[in-house]
Amino acid sequence: QVQLVESGGGLVQAGGSLRLSCAASGITSGINTMGWYRQALGKQRELVAAISRSGNINYADSVKGRFTISRDNAENTVSLQMNSLKPEDTAVYYCNVVRTRYGAQYNYWGQGTRVTVSS
């Protein structure tokens, strides 16, 4: 099993910045993609950004140019630097890790951290 502990989040004014971090522990061998999803009230969970072990990155169009994802493979951590925040970025942000073992993929989720952007 993989345990994910998130930190960061909080309340910020529009235009401000926040940094989210997530640390994976437990059975971390085989971890491939690490990323962040978010779920706003009344909406479905959506991908914000993801980064593969080799460094390939995928961003949601709504955050391109404002958010930056990074990871440390040695420490099994992933971070999300969020700049120029907008009220529509308000959501609960979840860390996600995909682990591959013997051809099967396993998804793990953090407990979620709330980000609130005031206008």
The tens digit of pLDDT for each residue in 16-27 reads 999 999 999 998
CA–CA gap between residue 82 and residue 66 (Å, rounded): 6
Q: How high is the pLDDT of residue 19? A: 98
- Statement: residue 99 has pLDDT above 90: yes
- Statement: residue 76 has pLDDT above 90: yes
Q: How high is the pLDDT of residue 27? A: 87
Residues in the chain: 119
